[in-house]
Structure 1
Amino acid sequence: MASRTWLITGVSSGFGRELTEQLLGRGDRVVGTVRDTAKVADLAGEYPGAFRPEVLDVTDTAAVRDVVDRAFADLGRIEVIVSNAGYGLFGAAEELTDAQVDHIIATNLTGSIQLIRAALPHLRVQGGGRIVQISSYGGQVAFPGNSMYHATKWGIEGFCEAVAAEVAPFGIGVTIVEPGGARTQFRYGSAQVADLMPEYDGNPAHAFSAMLDPANGLAPGDPARMAARIIDSVDAEPAPLRLVLGSQALDSTIATLRRRIDGLEAQRDLAGSTDFPPGE
């Protein structure tokens, strides 16, 4: 298999780090964005010709465009864009501050949108490529205490599904990756928690606290295996629109979608009652 060049955001930990290590180990090139290059100094030292670290805060749209434009200009061709940078925010909607709401939208949603928009002209001109958006099964399933995280993931999934249809004629594939719980820093290190209110003690909105405590059992997902399946997906033609990783994630997603369909089917008469009668 010919080597590829990848641009991946958020490679200091989690899936971004795991993807980068596996790709470099097999001989691919990676442009990896971080906020602190010290966290990837080991990769830069071990793979000086293959790993290119870039400092980037994805909430800075101008910087996103600059990094993407320079990477394509310097490397000539980048086959895969992985929009991975993001984080979790836990707490009831009422417990979140305005700043927390604004920042998670700017990072998880707007940052991903602008990364993809910056890459599209280059992918179109070069005649194709692949966009991989790291979402979550939380992009289709919602839990209390995760409202803003779900808002960003449901939002980016709608964006990507529309864009996939727009760019398919140019040979650009789009895949939305929906992992379940995994043993990464996303869950056990980088997750942010609101200033919790006692009024919500015992409320389903605080059930996440048990999930975030490793003493209650670790997540079932293996980040290394998940990263390997993401890499494999780039070889699939046509590009899979969604890639669910983890048996629990798949079961939960299917059950949720079935309940949603049942609820919609029950409204068939109600929905039809708002149409003009035939012939009018």
Structure 2
Amino acid sequence: MATTWFITGTSSGFGRLLTERLLARGDRVAATLRRPEVLDGLRAEYGDRLWTGRLDVTDGDAVRRVVGEAFAALGSIDVVVNNAGYGVFASVEEASDEQIRRVVDTNLLGSIHVVRAALPHLRAQGHGRILQVTTAGGQTTYPNFAYYHASKWGIEGFAETVAREIAPFGIGLTIVEPGATPTGFAAALATAPVMPEYEDTPAGQVRRALTDGSFTLPNDAGKIAGAVIDLVDGGATPLRLPLGSDTYEDVRASLVARLAELDAHRDVAYSVVKDPEVTAPA
């Protein structure tokens, strides 16, 4: 039985690849992007199985309108994929106010707009899945990506809360965390004038690694798309789906370090409670 998907950010990269794979296997896709004409070739090939909508996810009113139009046109939508994203590669001091605002407006507020617009329709139909695309950078950090991390850590906190709120309605949510993958995203990263003060810091080291090619992209975009499709087909709804060796290793190392730091401060944490009889477990 064909599945109907709503996907943001389908002009290139993971969103485009997922759209192509789904159409090729017979599913229906509502694809949204800033320039719908980019998908004219797919529309000619797949006809009314591809619905397209012009959308900038930073425009909340437009998100509500386009999501409503997609549900009206397709009748029901089984899977909503929050994929649109924007990244800035710069140290904290180097990025401009405009770049910072666009990262937050796209990755955090844009994703929130889509979820809020889709939920009334998903509740009304009594079923559905939301896939919130983040990255390994939703749980760990790398120099020069502070504002990207701010948006991704933020949306993961939002998505985790939403997952608990919507479960009683028969709606599942999974946070999808791809690692570094050659999708063209790195080439599309916004940059800023380099400050020489950061050349001999971790920020400078990562910048040189991207420039000389030593910053590896170990994952396969096609396999990531396949894993996402398999997840939906299998019916499982884990809260998080790590995809990539770097995602697994980096996130695991981050979680282990955070847990060790938390445990190291257990006694001081308990020292501030009102009841003196409440003490840290042995």
Normalised TM-score (structure 2): 0.95
Q: CA deviation at 1:95?
A: 0.8
Structure 2 match to 1:3: 2
How far residue 42 of structure 1 moved from its aligned partner, in angstroms, is: 1.5
Distance verdict in 2 for CA 1:259–1:279, change over 3 Å: closer
Query: Once structures 1 and 2 are overlaid, which stretch shifts more, 131-140 or 237-246?
Result: 237-246
Q: Which runs of 5+ in 1 are unaligned?
A: none
For residues 97-112 of structure 1, what are the structure 2 equivalents within 5 Å? 97-112=96-111
User: Over residues 13-50 of structure 1, what are the superposed CA-to-partner deviations in whole Å (9 max), with x where a residue is unaligned?
Assistant: 11101100110010001111111123222211111121
Query: Aligned residues: percent identity?
Result: 50
| CA positional deviation for 1:112 | 0.2
In structure 1, how many angstroms separate the alpha carbons of the residues matched to 2:17 and 2:190? Answer: 21
What letter matches 2:139 in structure 1? Q
CA distances 1:121-156 after superposition (whole Å, capped 9, x unpaired): 000000010000100010000112110000000000
Contact in 1 for aligned 2:199/2:205 (Cα 8 Å): no
The correspondence of residues 40-119 of structure 1 with structure 2, limited to 5 A, is: 40-119=39-118
Q: Retained in 1: the 8 A contact 2:86–2:102? A: no
CA distance in structure 1 between the partners assigned to 2:188 and 2:181 by the alignment: 13
Q: Secondary structure at the match of 1:177?
A: strand
Q: How big is the shift at 1:194?
A: 1.8
SS, match of residue 157 in structure 1: helix
Unaligned runs of 5+ residues in structure 2 are none
Structure 1 residue 208 displacement after superposition: 3.2
CA contact 2:51–2:70 (8 Å) conserved in 1: no
Matches of 1:211 and 1:171 in 2, distance apart? 45
- Counterpart for residue 257 of structure 2: 259
CA distance in 2, matches of 1:54, 1:221: 30
SS at match of 2:61: helix
Q: Which amino acid aligns with 1:270?
A: V
Query: CA shift at 1:192, angstroms?
Result: 1.1
Following TM superposition, by how much is the alpha carbon of 1:238 offset from its aligned partner in structure 2, in angstroms?
4.2
- Structure 1 residue 215 displacement after superposition: 3.9
Aligned length in residues: 278
Per the alignment, residue 231 of structure 1 pairs with: 229
Which residue number in structure 1 is paired with residue 159 of structure 2? Answer: 160
Tell me the SS of whatever aligns to 2:174: strand
Is the Cα–Cα contact under 8 Å of residues 178 and 245 in structure 1 kept in the other structure? yes
Match of 1:18 in 2: 17
Partner of 2:202: 204
1:269 aligned partner:
267
What is the RMSD computed on CA atoms of the aligned residues? 1.5
Partners in 2 of 1:138 and 1:106 — Cα distance?
Answer: 17
Deviations 1:55-79 (A, max 9, x none): 1111111000000001111211000
